[in-house]
Amino acid sequence: MAIINQATKELQVKVVYYGPALGGKTTNLVQVHDHVQTAAGHKGKLVSLATSSDRTLFFDFLPIEAMAIKGFKTKFQLYTVPGQVIYNTTRQLVLRGVDGIVFVADSQYDKMEENVKSFQNLEDNLKSLNLNLKDIPYVLQYNKRDMPNVAPVEFMEYLLNNRDEQLPSFTACAHKTEGVFETLNMITRLLLQKFIAQSQRRVA
Amino acid sequence: MASLPQLIEEDIGELNSVLQELLIKSDAGATLIIDKGGFIITQCGRGLEFDCMTLSALSAASYAATEGIAQVVGEHNFSSVYQQGDTFSILVNNVDQFCLLAVIFKATLSVGAVKYYAADTIKKIAAQLQVAQNRDPNQGLDLSMLNMADPSSMFKKKSA
């Protein structure tokens, strides 16, 4: 859960990018790291624990401080999980203490089954940590929209966003930075709204 | 899910004083209290020399992964991870279900001595966290000062 440090007026929040293998989770972090506009010292190093072929082995990690928030320094820690099925224990470790989730789905038709399985795996892993997806802000990103065999957005919405209250979803071509910042800004907004609502309930 | 209690300035002050005491006794370079999710709670010493945010994220992950390995081989009495370096070594100790204590010290120092002094520090940190927990486990903080009315995006892309 997020850490609120009253002494230093800091809020630390953990956002995890989740989704099937080769869906573009690491690419999202790389693009944020390469293109985000921050004051000096507000962006940390991108740490990748990856194999020699650049497949995520444990996680990628990017600390970043948000702009335009008065009163508090708000530090976001962005993580990715390894998408490959065999690394489930690792995914559970990375989800520990998660505050918000970006589910990065692969838009290609032949990846739909993997998208659905990965989403189910996310719900299962949260349950193993006594967490419920309903209590955690999350957004959907339909990545790789520039590939030739992509499913229509409506179909992906039907598969992954078919619920009473629909979640924010974004189309993206992460390697071109398209949709990357829109997704990041939405999850940070949802998270801060949640914290403010919680704190107001407690103060009231 | 149970979570770290809300800490107030008094708690952080007490934790910093305990960390400072450990620094002096053990001659360590830096001490950090880390949430098991990877956040820094507080730090003392020459932390500015290191990228402490990355260090805390990796330490928490390393501890969790090694704990998982220990359980696979049936070792349930697991409480610390030690990384021996040429210049600096790092000892990561379990504090309680929420926190870890990381100590960065010169490789010339004995890990045994650091462990010995850290044991007392761990008890004091756990006691202070219990004080915070007993104070009001659901105590929150008024975050209404966060300027959410500002319509501008929090993260902006650099102009080309």
Q: What is the mean pLDDT of residues A177-199?
A: 89
Put simply, the answer to whether A181 touches B155 (Cβ < 8 Å) is yes
Residue A203: CB atoms within 10 A of its CB come to 11
* Cβ contact B83:B67 at 8 Å: no
Domain ranges of chain B: 9-135
* Closest residue on chain B to A194 (Cα): B143
Residue A183 is predicted with a pLDDT of 96
Residue A51 is predicted with a pLDDT of 80
Return the SS3 of A185: helix
Predicted TM-score (pTM) of the model is: 0.86
Question: What DSSP character marks residue A173?
Answer: B
Give the CATH number of the domain where residue A51 resides.
Answer: 3.40.50.300
* Closest residue on chain B to A94 (Cα): B61
Q: What CA dihedral angle connects A87, B92, B43 and B133, to 10 degrees?
A: 80
Q: Looking at the partner chain, which of A69, A198, A201 has a beta carbon nearest the beta carbon of B154?
A: A69
* Closest residue on chain B to A200 (Cα): B142
Best interface-test mutation with B: which of A13, A96, A130 has the largest number of B CBs within 10 A? A96
User: What is the C-alpha to C-alpha distance for residues A160 and A184, in angstroms, rounded to an integer?
Assistant: 19
- Long-range contacts (CB closer than 8 Å, 24 or more residues apart) made by A196-201: A196/B143, A196/B144, A196/B146, A196/B148, A198/B140, A199/B140, A199/B141, A199/B142, A199/B143, A199/B144, A200/B142, A200/B144, A201/B140
**What residues in A contact B154, CB-CB < 8 Å?**
66-69, 74, 185, 188-189
User: What is the C-alpha to C-alpha distance for residues A104 and A141, in angstroms, rounded to an integer?
Assistant: 5
* pLDDT over 70 at A130, yes or no: yes
Residue B1 is predicted with a pLDDT of 46
Buried b (16+ CB within 10 A) or exposed e, B44-73: bbebeebebbbbbbbbbbbbbeebeeeeee
pLDDT: which is higher, B23 or A195: B23
Among A94, A71, A51, A66, CA closest to A6: A71
- For chains A and B, count residue pairs whose Cβ atoms are closer than 8 Å: 157
* Cβ contact A78:A65 at 8 Å: no
Put simply, the answer to whether B145 touches A71 (Cβ < 8 Å) is yes
* pLDDT over 80 at A68, yes or no: no
User: What is the C-alpha to C-alpha distance for residues A101 and A76, in angstroms, rounded to an integer?
Assistant: 12
The confidence band for A43, taking pLDDT boundaries of 50, 70 and 90, is confident
- Number of domains composing chain A: 1
Proportion of chain A above pLDDT 90, given as a percent: 62
Put simply, the answer to whether A70 touches B138 (Cβ < 8 Å) is no
**pLDDT tens profile B44-57:** 998 667 888 889 99
Q: What is the mean pLDDT of residues A95-124?
A: 96
User: What is the C-alpha to C-alpha distance for residues B108 and A101, in angstroms, rounded to an integer?
Assistant: 43
Kindly write down the DSSP assignment for every residue of B6-46, as one continuous string.
PP-HHHHHHHHHHHHHHHHHHT-SEEEEEETTS-EEEEEES
**What residues in B contact A41, CB-CB < 8 Å?**
none
Residue B146 is predicted with a pLDDT of 56
Put simply, the answer to whether B64 touches A93 (Cβ < 8 Å) is yes
Residue A37 is predicted with a pLDDT of 85
* pLDDT over 60 at A201, yes or no: yes
Poorest-confidence range of A73-87, B11-25, B92-106? A73-87
Which residues, listed in sequence order, are joined to residue A160 by a DSSP beta bridge? Answer: none
From the CA of B113, how many Å to the nearest CA of chain A? 31
CATH class of the structural domain B9-135:
alpha beta
Proportion of chain A above pLDDT 70, given as a percent: 94
Q: What is the mean pLDDT of residues B67-85?
A: 92
Residue A66 is predicted with a pLDDT of 76
Question: What DSSP character marks residue A83?
Answer: -
Residue B63 is predicted with a pLDDT of 93
* pLDDT over 50 at A80, yes or no: yes
Q: What is the mean pLDDT of residues B87-108?
A: 95
* Closest residue on chain B to A16 (Cα): B37
**pLDDT tens profile B55-73:** 999 999 999 999 988 988 9
Put simply, the answer to whether B12 touches A7 (Cβ < 8 Å) is yes
| Pure H helices in chain A | 25-35, 88-95, 112-128, 153-160, 180-203
* pLDDT over 50 at B151, yes or no: no
Proportion of chain B above pLDDT 70, given as a percent: 85
Q: What are B75's two structure tokens?
A: 């070792």
Residue B140 is predicted with a pLDDT of 53
* pLDDT over 50 at A55, yes or no: yes
Put simply, the answer to whether B51 touches A44 (Cβ < 8 Å) is yes
* pLDDT over 70 at B153, yes or no: no
Q: What is the mean pLDDT of residues A93-115?
A: 95
**What residues in B contact A181, CB-CB < 8 Å?**
153, 155-157
**What residues in A contact B156, CB-CB < 8 Å?**
36-37, 67, 181
* Cβ contact A58:A119 at 8 Å: no
Among A82, A105, A102, CA closest to A92: A82
Proportion of chain B above pLDDT 90, given as a percent: 58
Mean pLDDT of chain A: 89
In a domain, A53, yes or no: yes
Residue A94 is predicted with a pLDDT of 93
pLDDT: which is higher, B39 or A31: A31
Question: What DSSP character marks residue A131?
Answer: -
* pLDDT over 80 at A42, yes or no: no
* pLDDT over 60 at B130, yes or no: yes
Q: What is the mean pLDDT of residues A2-31?
A: 89
Put simply, the answer to whether B38 touches A1 (Cβ < 8 Å) is no
Mean pLDDT of chain B: 86
Give residue A81's domain range. Answer: 12-17+25-180
